[in-house]
Structure 1
Amino acid sequence: MTEGAQRRTAAPGTPYEVFHTGCVAREVVDHVTSRWGVWVLIALRHQDLRFHELRGSIEGVSEKMLSQTLRALVRDGLVWREVEPTTPPRVTYGLTPFGQEVGEPLTELFDRITRRLSADGAE
């Protein structure tokens, strides 16, 4: 069973007011740029991961915070969640096409920073 892609939208023809606290687009941006949201999107950029693999790849995140972050990103349609009916259930996460699109500039930013820091360290 795959969950996600439940992105909410404004009424047709209604512009998003990202500077207003009630704006749906602002809520999605808040989730993406949250402390752990960025790292989840970057961690999932190349492969789908199970919960504990994802937690292991993001040093410092607690299970609670990772769960909350994943729930928000799934609700926003950025991440999909698939549950296999095994014992215990096997839960896998990956990026939706929207998540890949949003994650590209974050990945590019991350890559630019690490290239720059690597170049500075080599001097």
Structure 2
Amino acid sequence: MGTDLWDVLGCKWTRRIVAHLAGGETRFNEIKRALGVPTSTLSARLKRLESSDIVFREVEESTPPAVHYGLTNRGERLAELLAEIDRLD
């Protein structure tokens, strides 16, 4: 699991996505607009973060379906640690 976390943290978008989601649940396009990340990159990163139990994905039954992303407990702890590291810089 440790290697998995280092692989996740090695991506340049991980810190930005985690920091953005620390502000609360949000939708895909809101993340994309806020961070200026390409669609394919954001999709791949969110899938990777979800498989690492850092981000959760929730699909709202509506037409069209609304998909929300947020931080898991592990993701919240990571966001706190990253924020602490940023304060040290």
Corresponding position of 2:11: 34
Q: Whose Rg is larger?
A: 1
| TM-score with structure 2 setting the length | 0.89
Whether the aligned pair in 2 keeps the contact of 1:32 and 1:73 (CA below 8 Å) is no
Residue by residue over 1:36-84, the C-alpha shift from the partner in whole angstroms, topping out at 9 and shown as x without a partner, is 111110111121110011111112x100000000000001100110001
CA distance in 1, matches of 2:19, 2:84: 10
Corresponding position of 2:85: 109
CA distance in 1, matches of 2:20, 2:5: 18
1:81–1:87 distance in 2 versus 1, CA, 3 Å: same
CA RMSD, Structure 1 to Structure 2 (Å): 1.4
Q: Kindly report which structure 2 residues correspond to 1:84-99, keeping only aligned pairs within 5 A, or say none.
A: 84-99=60-75
Give aligned-pair identity as a percent. Answer: 31
* Unmatched segments (≥5 aa) in structure 2: none
Please list every run of at least 4 consecutive aligned residues from structure 1 whose deviation after the TM superposition is greater than 2 angstroms.
108-113
Paired residues in the alignment total 89
Q: Kindly report which structure 2 residues correspond to 1:15-54, keeping only aligned pairs within 5 A, or say none.
A: 24-54=1-31
CA distance in 2, matches of 1:111, 1:46: 17
Is 1:65–2:41 an aligned residue pair? Answer: yes
Q: Residue 12 of structure 2: SS of its match in structure 1?
A: coil
Q: Residue 83 of structure 1: SS of its match in structure 2?
A: strand
* Unmatched segments (≥5 aa) in structure 1: 1-23, 114-123
CA distance in 2, matches of 1:45, 1:112: 19
